[in-house]
Chain A
């Protein structure tokens, strides 16, 4: 039977009785028709092998969403290969598709091994143990406000104490570096830092300033 005749018969039978038709036409014929541009053949192929391939993938990954993803990726590969014309028909369409699915399952497990996925449940939520250490928008605004208030308070300190405090806290210098830069001994720098903090606390207490996040 020529391909054209078969194709006509297929479209006739499809409207009449698709299940019977699916039983009649072989995979190799459907593949050949699909390569020649008959999109309907692909639909028949997918529907014919849907349960078998999906169940195969599901039996390995045991996750509905992952199964759908792998099924989709499998057929995207199938479609690409068929459209490129690099598929060689040997009457083994299903084993070929199963092999692609099998390889994609292996890829999925390899990827998961590199980056394991952890899903919480009702008993244990991973986010109760680990969290995002970044501040949320509200806390960031509060922190900025406190930083700004503190800068104003530091301005109230005597110059020598302010200098040491700015070098230590904002420039992250060691007391040795501070002493070298200011020309005073380390002990003096330490003392100025101590008095700077004491005076800051005094200013805060005196003005009833609340500096908490």
Chain B
């Protein structure tokens, strides 16, 4: 029978990204502004 299971337990480990990373992403999203002018798109990050 074909071996379809990994020997390495880590391969199927369920993990979650840390709250710090999520907080960073949410803050990044809040600070990011995209402005369109004619065919140009400008990104600005407001701290």
Contacts and interface: CB of A to CB of B under 8 A. Distances in A.
B16 to A, nearest CB: 5
Interface in B4-31: 8, 10-18, 21-22, 24-26, 28-30
A68 B18 CA distance: 8
Interface residues of B, number: 23
Interface residue tally on A, bucketed by range: 20 to 34
Contact of B16 (A43, A51, A83, A84): A51
Nearest to A82: B29
A64 B15 contact: yes
Contacts, number: 64
A42 B10 CA distance: 29
Nearest to A63: B10
Contacts of A68: 17-18, 21
A111 interface: no
A75 B10 CA distance: 24
Nearest to B25: A75
Given A62-B10, A72-B21, A43 B15 contact: no
Contacts of A62: 8, 10-11
Contact of B21 (A55, A71, A79): A71
Nearest to B41: A84
B44 to A, nearest CB: 11
Given A79-B29, A80-B34, 15 more contacts: A39-B26, A39-B30, A42-B29, A43-B26, A46-B25, A50-B22, A55-B14, A55-B15, A58-B13, A68-B21, A72-B21, A75-B25, A76-B25, A79-B28, A83-B34
Interface of A: 39, 42-43, 46-47, 50-51, 53-55, 58-59, 62, 64, 67-68, 71-72, 75-76, 79-80, 83-85
Interface of B: 8, 10-18, 21-22, 24-26, 28-30, 32-34, 41, 43
